[in-house]
Structure 1
Amino acid sequence: MGHSGAVWDYRAATEIIKDWNGIDQVVVRNPQGSSVKVSLYGGQITSWRNEQGEELLFTSSKAIFKPPKAMRGGISICFPQFGNCESLQQNAFARNRIWTIDENPPPLHPNDSHGKSFIDLLLKPSEEDLKFWPHSFELRLRVAIAADGDLVLISRVRNINGKPFSFSFGYHTHLSVSDISEVRIEGLETLDFLDNLRQRERFTEQGDAITFESEIDRVYLSSPNVIAVLDHERKRTYVVRKEGLPDVVVWNPWEKKSKSMTDFGDEEYKQMLCVDGAAIERPITLKPGEEWTGRLTLSVVPSSFCSEHFDLQGKSLR
């Protein structure tokens, strides 16, 4: 691909395959064998595998892979609104549009390509989109896999309109876990959150860490840029680093809600946890010509390493 000299410098394979709807998916691999797969439908990340080939993202066994429905699982790009991205199909239209491969993206910071295998995608509004969200924009997404297997997502929204516009944004991220009752999140203690199960009422987190024993749907506000999701049974930790995304959505439907969702298995809530880097409470406003960047980096480390040696605040995003 035209711009991908840096990719091939790292002997990475970038391969285009078709899904069973005939939609292109791009598989990006690093030399060590980790991979990420992104669909041009919605710019959705459908797979992230480590060097051993183990899938790190959850996708429902009952997911419907048929447009216009967004697939239940992986990582969805929620733009220009993230209410609960679950219900806002139309208002989060980026996740059910066909994106294109961006052959000549404007330059990013050198660190954003160094040592990484990547693909750049682009979404521009259709005539239809402009009818109900009348703003001209360019939404770029870089999907990268680093030499150490980290998954790096960089989204850039540019206003090419004659007037300012505002939007919210989220990476709706389904992590694969061994057993939800054995998982805890560190880094959100003492924060205020909006509880979507109680009319978005505002509360303050009281626990030392977040653990799970019932349905949860919360937006944690002004959160640290690094949080950790510890999976005790697998003795590993997902480290979520983010930039430009002040909020974190934590979602698990639990038993009753799972049974009501047609594209989700009744018991699958046990193997899944959504932890979304997002900008929700204070929408982002761009003046004409301005650009916003939101970054998400997902890493997996052994839990012993995390709890003993891992400085949640101190590790750089790059």
Structure 2
Amino acid sequence: MSSFEGGGGGEKKYVEFCTGVNGLDKVILREVRGQSAEVYLNGGQVTSWKNEYGEELLFLSSKFGMHGSLEQHGFARNTVWTIDKDPPPFPTVSSNKAFIDLILKPSEDDPKSWPHRFEFRIRITLGPGGDLMLTSRIRNTNTDGKPFTFTFAYNNYFYLTDIRFSHDLL
């Protein structure tokens, strides 16, 4: 699920549940040195990742392209994910306290755009050094046992103060 430290007495809270833009549910992950990541349950999307100086490391854009007949960037980004209260073991460093486990299962509306049964789990972790880690697991839950093919991707957009430094990211 997620981990907490304290809540009172001045102890550090690593995972905070709150309301974000347009009243959407949001989770903020924090590390001791001030790094943070912001995750919306709507789309299971990381919308902010800041270093210890509060500088934003991600660039968000509203300009997306179409991918065939699916919604822009697929349907998972337009679906509300739930907090996975009983996730299977994920590989993780035991000292990571700032993480959240999310799960996406098909709804009754999904067969219109995606006729297969599945579970998509993701653990979003903010490591002790401020590293952002996303670990995904996708499972076929079709009762007929028929395989299906799929693709998924993390669409990374890093904020750059100067385009000349972009070669360091490649």
Per the normalisation by structure 2, the TM-score is 0.84
Question: Which residues in structure 2 correspond to 1:1-318 (within 5 Å)?
Answer: 3-5=1-3, 7-8=4-5, 11-60=12-61, 63=62, 86-88=65-67, 90=71, 92-109=74-91, 112-116=92-96, 117-161=98-142, 162-180=145-163, 182-185=164-167, 228-229=168-169
The CA deviation string for residues 46-75 of structure 1, in whole angstroms up to 9 with x for no partner, is 100011111111124xx4xxxxxxxx5xxx
Q: Which residue of 2 aligns with 1:287?
A: none
Cα RMSD, aligned residues only: 2.2
Aligned mates of 1:39, 1:158 — CA distance in 2: 22
Classify the secondary structure of the residue corresponding to 2:32. Answer: coil
- How far apart, in 2, do the equivalents of 1:135 and 1:160 lie? 8
Provide Cα deviations, 1:13-53, integer angstroms capped at 9, x if missing partner.
21112123211010010111111000011111110001111
Q: CA-to-partner distance for each residue in 1:286-318, whole Å, 9 max, x for gaps?
A: xxxxxxxxxxxxxxxxxxxxxxxxxxxxxxxxx
Paired with 1:129 and 1:31, the residues of 2 have a C-alpha distance of 40
Alpha-carbon deviations, 1:124-146, whole Å to 9, x = none? 11122122311110001111001
TM-score w.r.t. the length of structure 1 is 0.47
Alignment partner of 1:86: what SS? coil
Amino acid at match of 1:102: D
Give the residue type in structure 1 aligned to 2:148.
F
How far 1:12 moved relative to its partner? 4.3
CA contact (8 A) 1:43 1:121 kept: yes
Q: Is the 8 A contact 2:27 2:40 kept in 1?
A: yes
Q: CA deviation at 1:178?
A: 1.4
Structure number with greater CO (CA < 8 Å, separation at least 6) is 2
Q: What is the CA–CA distance in structure 2 between the aligned matches of 1:113 and 1:159, rounded to whole Å?
A: 27
Gaps of 5+ in 1: 64-71, 73-84, 186-227, 231-318
Q: Which runs of 5+ in 2 are unaligned?
A: none
